[in-house]
């Protein structure tokens, strides 16, 4: 890309730019809604999203490039306004990849957010500049030079952004691969569906609940969110549902259509490809939503957000969502071999210390089957979720925990697992606890930097924080703080 040379500050660029901006529509920062121009879009941001873009620029001290990165970051990853306002350094948009425009053209990229301020400064100093030859002091000259330089710099910036947009528009359109694209692509492979179907704890819990509560499904309209191979949709149909609608955005849906036909259920089961947030259903309301949305540490993948969207949009008054209750638990373990394999290993790698690798390894939560013999405390519930009532904002949370040591030894980490309930006339539940049969979710292990000696009867106290990752919303950021161990705070990522 060629560098732009300085142009005469007295050029008529601003007049042309202003006329074009009035006529150029602008997409909303946090939705697909279009506005007549940038100004209308920004007013909507303030009124609807409670987000003042210009004020945010100033509050964060973002320079020109920082502003470009922020706009493209929002365009690309569609974070919530609160996720952007709560961001701390290093900012997730502080990456040169976000200099490339996501929309082409994007009038917001060459919106002059500082022109009003500069014009006010220019007007304020105008009386001094009029009498320049006789009264201008050295300080006034310095101010004038700064204003001229600022104006030139602004012109250079405008040309730079225009060049970026023009270059981007010349290139052939490339498929946009984002976090969601990769997520749905992963569910297009047959292996992952075989693994889920072969998980008897999981699949038989859904099957048993529906077959033992047929009266609940009789003549009902059922929505299956993330239907995959269609197994839950077919079970619901055979349990008496009048109509079942399965929705999935991965290519496995095409196989599901064939599976439904093969089992002669196409009259009852309709399958739709697309994101639940974007599809149109052939009905206005459903009586039951069923979904296997749970991920590692319960909330990984953020699929529950899609279930809540479907609940709020289509579930009839008095309707049900299954499973309807879930809980997230913690226990402490003493698994010295696991700790040595993943953490202690880096203290001596063929005689060399690799401390930086050890620090990185600590932050990565492990997904593994934990031996029940390694559990050394009772369990503690850190989050309970009523799927029929919970809001999306409540899925980012902090909770205190207390674990009583029942078997003394060296504590090497904490383990997270979840339990799910289906509450009908006949209640069905399953657990991913280390003391139960393994599931494909396994357990989530948070290894400690150092092993801690614990004695029977001791109470481990602390606080757990869980929130969706700002840049990759389907990943989770976990933070553990331990009472009585000053500064002992560990941050983990489940990705």
Distances (CA, A) of 117 to 124, 158, 200: 11, 17, 65
Tell me whether residue 292 is one of the annotated catalytic residues: yes
40: Cβ contacts below 8 Å, ≥ 6 apart: 26
Q: How many CB atoms are closer than 10 A to CB 419?
A: 20
411: Cβ contacts below 8 Å, ≥ 6 apart: 332, 333, 334, 376, 448, 451, 452, 453, 454, 460
Which member of 7, 43, 266, 301 is catalytic? 301
Tokens of 103: 């929309």
Tokens of 157: 């910036």
Specify the residue for token string 């320049």.
Answer: 132
Nearest to 322 by CA among 221, 220, 223, 431: 223
Which member of 292, 394, 408, 461 is catalytic? 292
Ramachandran sector of residue 127 (left: φ over 0; alpha: ψ -120 to 50; beta: rest): alpha
Tokens of 253: 């849906």
For the residues of 33-99, what is the DSSP string, one character each?
-EESSHHHHHHHIIIII---HHHHHHHHT--HHHHHHHHHHHHHH---HHHHHT--SSPTT-SGGGG
- Tell me how far apart the alpha carbons of residues 333 and 374 are, in angstroms, rounded to a whole number: 5
Give just the sign of the alpha carbon dihedral 396, 401, 407, 410.
positive
- Tell me how far apart the alpha carbons of residues 323 and 429 are, in angstroms, rounded to a whole number: 9
Residues known to be catalytic: 292, 301
């Amino acid at each position: 890309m060629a560098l732009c040379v300085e142009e005469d500050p007295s050029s008529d660029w601003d007049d042309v730019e202003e006329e074009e901006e009035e006529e150029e529509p602008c997409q909303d920062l946090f939705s697909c809604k279009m506005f007549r121009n940038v100004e209308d879009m920004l007013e909507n941001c303030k009124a609807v999203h409670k987000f003042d873009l210009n004020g945010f620029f100033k509050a964060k001290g973002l320079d020109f490039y920082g502003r470009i990165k922020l706009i493209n970051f929002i365009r690309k990853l569609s974070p919530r306004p609160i996720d952007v306002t709560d961001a701390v350094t290093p900012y997730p948009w502080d990456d040169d990849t976000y200099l490339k425009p996501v929309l082409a053209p994007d009038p917001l990229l060459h919106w002059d957010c500082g022109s009003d301020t500069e014009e006010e400064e220019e007007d304020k100093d105008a009386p001094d500049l009029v009498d320049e030859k006789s009264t201008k002091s050295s300080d006034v000259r310095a101010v004038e030079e700064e204003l001229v330089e600022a104006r030139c710099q602004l012109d250079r910036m405008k040309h730079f952004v225009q060049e970026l947009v023009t270059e981007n528009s010349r290139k052939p359109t490339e498929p946009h691969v984002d976090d969601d694209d990769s997520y749905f692509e992963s569910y297009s492979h047959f292996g992952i569906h075989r693994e889920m179907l072969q998980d008897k704890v999981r699949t038989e819990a859904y099957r048993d609940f529906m077959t033992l509560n047929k009266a609940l499904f009789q003549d009902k309209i059922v929505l299956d969110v993330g239907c995959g191979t269609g197994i839950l949709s077919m079970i619901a149909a055979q349990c008496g549902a009048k109509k079942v609608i399965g929705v999935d955005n991965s290519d496995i849906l095409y196989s599901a259509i064939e599976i439904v036909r093969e089992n002669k259920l196409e009259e009852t089961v309709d399958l739709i490809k697309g994101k639940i947030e974007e599809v149109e259903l052939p009905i206005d309301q459903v009586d039951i939503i069923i979904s296997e949305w749970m991920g590692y540490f319960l909330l990984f993948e953020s699929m529950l957000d899609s279930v809540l969207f479907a609940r709020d949009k289509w579930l009839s008054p008095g309707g049900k969502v299954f499973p309807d209750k879930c809980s997230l638990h913690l226990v402490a373990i003493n698994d010295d071999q696991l700790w040595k394999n993943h953490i202690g290993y880096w203290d001596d790698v063929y005689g060399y210390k690799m401390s930086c690798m050890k620090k990185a390894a600590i932050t990565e939560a492990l997904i593994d089957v934990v031996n029940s013999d390694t559990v050394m405390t009772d369990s503690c519930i850190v989050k309970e979720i009523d799927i029929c009532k919970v809001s999306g904002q409540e899925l980012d949370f902090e909770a205190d925990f207390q674990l009583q040591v029942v078997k003394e030894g060296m504590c090497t980490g904490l383990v997270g697992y979840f339990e799910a309930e289906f509450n009908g006339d006949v209640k069905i539940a399953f657990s991913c606890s280390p003391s139960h049969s393994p599931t494909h979710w396994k357990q989530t292990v948070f290894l400690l930097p150092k092993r801690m000696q614990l004695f029977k009867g001791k109470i481990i106290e602390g606080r757990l924080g869980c929130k969706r990752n700002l840049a990759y919303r389907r990943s989770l950021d976990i933070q553990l703080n331990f009472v009585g161990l000053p500064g002992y705070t560990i941050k983990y990522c489940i990705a």
